[in-house]
Amino acid sequence: MKNLERDSIDFGTSKIRPLFRSIFFPTLLSMVFTSLLTVVDGIFVGQGVGSDALAAVNIVAPVFLVTTGIALMFGVGVSVVASIHLSHGNRKAANINVTQALVVAPMLMTILSVILFFGRIPFLRLMGCSDALLPLAMRYLTPLLPGCVFILIETIGTFVIRLDGSPRFASAVGIVPGILNIFFDWLFVFPMKMGIAGSSVATTVCCAIASGMVAWYMLRRSRSVHLYRLKLSRTSLYLTIRNIGYMSRSGFSSMLGELAMSMIMLTGNYVFIRLMGSDGVAAFSVACYLYPIVFMVNNSVAQSAQPIISYNYGAGDRERVREAFRLSLRTAAVCGLLATAVLTLGATPLISLFLQEGTRPYEIATAGIPLFALSSVFFALNIAIIGYYQSIERNSRAAVYMLLRGLVFLVPAFILLPRLIPSQGVWLAVPVTECLTLAVILLSKERELRRVL
């Protein structure tokens, strides 16, 4: 444990390539295992309960994504702001920001979870849940709500621990619960026969364990970034609200990224259930389970570059900023190509993890997943560029580009493409959206990106 938290990272003087690698690979492992929380849920639910349960989980999935989006908003926001404070030598301000994020965000999430608990049925109806799926969706959603609070602590904590110079421990915060989630899913779904609720309970338990790891590190092992005792005076409360607002603006586009995933699921669920019924939603849910892995892999690229870019941006070292950004773009391109290859060539065995071979949902997914996979490269480059704008506090531009891919292009694509290409258009909506977004980014700021590259 001692070796996990001492990585001797210097964001201002270490060579960019080794520095990026020392952050990227632990972050990548953490992100992959974190995404297993939902993927393993889908595998055990699909194989242990059935395709209707899998469709019900997909109905509830936007709750998980919105929660993760809020967590990323605070995590990225506090990391950007605290990185710049640290580059100026102002550790006290960085510590205050970190404490505010770790205290206020979970409090807000607790309030939202309580509201959602009492409004579960109207919410699920809004998500497009049918009468047949409603009981299953209710059983999955209720145990998940406490876990939403733990997700915030876990996610924000990993950003803070990484900023503290301990990316390997930050990686362990994702890996350990990810491994335990596999065991608990099996235990609750099969031997204990808890069904779809067992999968949700497993997620909440593992997120609680991750939160405990964050708390242990911050209280016992942090070295540069520490928790700071917040005051409750009127002035202090005003400054807390101001700082939370500033962090939220800095990380807002990251939340939009998760909301974009939610929009993909929400709009896709409506379109698939209208065109193909519950079988279509079950098939689409496989893509919704696999796509977050692609998101996490490419998000790990942006998150690894972020503290390096933000720190050196605050220090005024533009050359190190450019070098880190170029490296993140190249890494993102490679990850995007690999994701496309894996999802295309390995579509059949991957789908078999979730759905029974020979069923109609299996056939729909087999025909559609390779088309859906075409979005991976465009998505990877979009996330890397948007992450760069976040890191240098160009928050409005990052938010606009996230809105393009999460709403402006996405909804029309889901509506129009099935009419233009009846059998394939619904699967091509996301690839077309990501491609159009990248085109807008490159055309609107081609000169600026060329100067940076």
Q: What is the pLDDT of residues 59-90, one digit of tens each?
A: 887 788 788 888 888 988 898 888 888 888 88
CA distances from 390 to 167, 302, 439 (A): 20, 10, 19
First to last CA, the chain: 39
Beta strands in 282-388 (DSSP E): none
pLDDT attached to residue 9: 66
pLDDT attached to residue 446: 60
Contacts of 83 (CB under 8 A, 6+ apart): 11, 163, 306, 307, 310, 311, 314
pTM of the complete model: 0.76
| Maximum distance among all Cα pairs of the chain, rounded to whole angstroms | 65
The tally of CA atoms less than 13 A away on the side-chain side of residue 71 is 24
Residue with tokens 């609720």: 197
pLDDT attached to residue 3: 45
pLDDT attached to residue 5: 43
- Residue 398: which of 248, 244, 243, 252 has the closest Cα? 252
3-class SS at 203?
helix
Q: What residues of the chain score a pLDDT lower than 70? A: 1-9, 36-38, 445-453
**What tokens does 372 get?**
């859906």
3-class SS at 61?
helix
CB distance 83 to 307 below 8 Å? yes
pLDDT attached to residue 4: 42
Q: For 322-341, how does the pLDDT look when each residue is reduced to its tens digit (9 = 90+)?
A: 999 999 999 999 999 999 99
**What tokens does 244 get?**
């939370």
Q: How many CB atoms lie within 10 A of CB 179?
A: 13
Is the dihedral angle over the CA atoms 248, 251, 253, 254 positive or is it negative?
negative
Spell out a b/e string for 50-64, using b for 16 or more CB atoms within 10 Å of the CB, else e: bbbbbbbbbbbbbbb
CA distances from 274 to 12, 277, 409, 445 (A): 54, 6, 20, 39
CB distance 64 to 144 below 8 Å? yes
Contacts of 385 (CB under 8 A, 6+ apart): 329, 401, 441, 449
pLDDT attached to residue 440: 92
**What tokens does 280 get?**
């279509």
Q: For 162-200, how does the pLDDT look when each residue is reduced to its tens digit (9 = 90+)?
A: 888 888 898 899 888 888 988 998 899 888 888 888 988
pLDDT attached to residue 439: 92
DSSP string, 364-411: HHHHHHHHHGGGHHHHHHHHHHHHHHHHTT-HHHHHHHHHIIIIITHH
- Residue 256: which of 448, 47, 21, 73 has the closest Cα? 73
pLDDT attached to residue 337: 94
Contacts of 69 (CB under 8 A, 6+ apart): 254, 255, 256, 257, 258, 259, 261, 262
